[in-house]
């Protein structure tokens, strides 16, 4: 597929994530953030594991749980803390700093050059999100700010390390590993710090199905597919589509007002996302780029995916992959 197609498919993920606020506030019980995060991640991960029938080798378990923590457990926990202690606009603006963090982390961990155009696009995107979401009465809480910055750093680290550590499996399998690991981390935490969920209504179940199947399983498969194919700085800029979708849904579905300043902010965000894709365009041909890290020695991966997974890079004819050591004369 072309780079433009990869970008459009990857952009679908944060665009759908923008519906999380609407679904959470309108369809889910309030006061159970960690429990709902676990119910969003773990069933989605187990479902994808059942579909792909691909388990990580023991040598990969440490990496998988670290990535699951960065991309899901730690990120979602800090995100909820920031959402509770800060106005939504301030929390989202802090989250948009992820794009800048990815540029710096990719330089240190991947050796990706820092381009002035990419930094300018990321900074402009943060300004656009601020105009889109921050109101004049926004209050600042130190703990909330720390949580917002920590959540952005966690997702940034997860994005860069997901690019650095690429196993030879489909993006769907990689998403399954990380979602399951993140859910397993969140589940005991939810049981310890939160009360039992009340009986769920049909609306509650519909909201969980949307956030789990679409907002986690499908979208994170697209996201990790994009992480493997697109430059980290370009991928992180696509995350700014999320607040634009959230505001648009609030306007269309909830009848919330949309000011001229917010419209300007949305245009700035969309322009910065476009500029970020151009600024992060690789100058090295794909064939000359370094290959992803191989699976560490000692692991066996059983993969029985169907042909429909071909879009995510799966090989439907590869049933068992084992590490081999070639002997040369």
SS3 328: coil
Residues 195-234: pLDDT tens digits? 999 999 999 999 999 999 999 999 999 999 999 999 999 9
> Please, what is the angle between helix 33-52 and helix 171-193, to 10°?
150
Answer yes or no: are the C-beta atoms of 37 and 43 closer than 8 Å: no
Give the number of other Cβ atoms within 10 Å of residue 207's Cβ: 24
Record the pTM: 0.82
**In whole angstroms, what is the distance from residue 67 CA to residue 162 CA?**
7
| DSSP helix/strand/coil, 97 | coil
Gap between the Cα atoms of 247 and 249, Å rounded: 5
DSSP state of 290: P
Q: Cα angle vertex 55, ends 54, 56, to 5°?
A: 125
Per DSSP, the three-state class of 28 is coil
CA distance 274 to 294: 32
Task: Count CB atoms within 10 A of the CB of residue 22.
Answer: 18
pLDDT tens digits, 154-199? 999 999 999 999 999 999 999 999 999 999 999 999 999 999 999 9
Q: Among candidates 49, 63, 73, which has minimal Cα distance to 175? A: 49
Q: pLDDT, tens digit, for every residue of 62-112?
A: 999 999 999 999 998 888 788 778 776 777 888 899 999 999 999 999 999
Which helix (H) or strand (E) segment holds residue 300: the answer is: strand 300-302
The least confident of 115-119, 180-184, 189-193, 252-256 is: 252-256
Residue 239 DSSP one-character state: T
Closest CA to 47 of 159, 173, 162, 167: 173
The per-residue b/e assignment along 143-170, b for 16 or more CB within 10 angstroms, e otherwise, is: ebbebbbbbbbbbbbbbbbbbbbbbbbb
Q: Give domain limits for the chain.
A: 3-296
Alpha-carbon distance values, 92 to 3, 89, 145 (Å): 28, 5, 11
Burial category of 4 from C-beta neighbours within 10 Å (exposed 0-12, middle 13-18, buried 19 and up): exposed
* Cα 185 → chain centroid: 17
CA-based diameter of the chain, in Å? 74
CA distances from 4 to 1, 229, 274 (A): 8, 11, 11
pLDDT digits (tens, 9 = 90+) for 10-53: 999 999 998 888 888 899 998 898 999 999 999 999 999 999 99
Question: Contact 50/290 with Cβ under 8 angstroms?
Answer: no
């Amino acid at each position: 597929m072309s780079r433009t197609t990869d970008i459009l498919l990857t952009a679908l993920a944060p665009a759908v994530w923008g519906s999380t606020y609407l679904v959470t506030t309108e369809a889910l019980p309030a006061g159970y953030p960690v429990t709902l995060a676990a119910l969003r991640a773990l069933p989605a991960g187990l479902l994808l594991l059942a579909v792909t029938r691909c388990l990580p080798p023991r040598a990969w378990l440490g990496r998988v749980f670290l990535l699951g923590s960065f991309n899901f457990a730690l990120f979602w926990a800090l995100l909820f803390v920031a959402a509770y202690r800060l106005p939504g606009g301030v929390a989202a603006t802090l989250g948009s700093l992820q794009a800048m963090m990815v540029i710096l982390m990719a330089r240190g961990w991947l050796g990706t050059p820092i381009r002035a155009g990419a930094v300018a696009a990321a900074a402009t995107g943060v300004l656009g999100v601020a105009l889109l979401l921050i109101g004049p009465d926004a209050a600042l809480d130190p703990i909330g700010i720390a949580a917002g910055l920590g959540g952005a750093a966690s997702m940034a680290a997860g994005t860069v390390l997901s690019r650095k550590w690429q196993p030879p499996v489909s993006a769907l399998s990689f998403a399954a590993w990380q979602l399951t690991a993140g859910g397993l981390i969140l589940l005991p935490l939810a049981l310890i710090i939160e009360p039992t969920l009340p009986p769920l209504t049909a609306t509650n179940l519909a909201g969980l199905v949307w956030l789990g199947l679409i907002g986690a399983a499908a979208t994170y498969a697209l996201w990790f597919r994009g992480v493997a194919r697109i430059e980290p700085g370009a991928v992180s800029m696509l995350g700014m589509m999320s607040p634009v979708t959230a505001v648009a849904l609030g306007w269309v579905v909830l009848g919330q007002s949309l000011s001229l300043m917010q419209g300007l902010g949305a245009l700035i965000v969309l322009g910065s996302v476009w500029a970020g894709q151009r600024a992060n365009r690789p100058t090295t041909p794909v064939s000359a780029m370094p290959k992803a890290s191989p699976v560490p020695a000692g692991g066996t991966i059983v993969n029985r995916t169907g042909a429909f997974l071909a879009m995510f890079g799966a090989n439907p004819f590869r049933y068992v992959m084992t590490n081999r050591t070639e002997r040369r004369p």
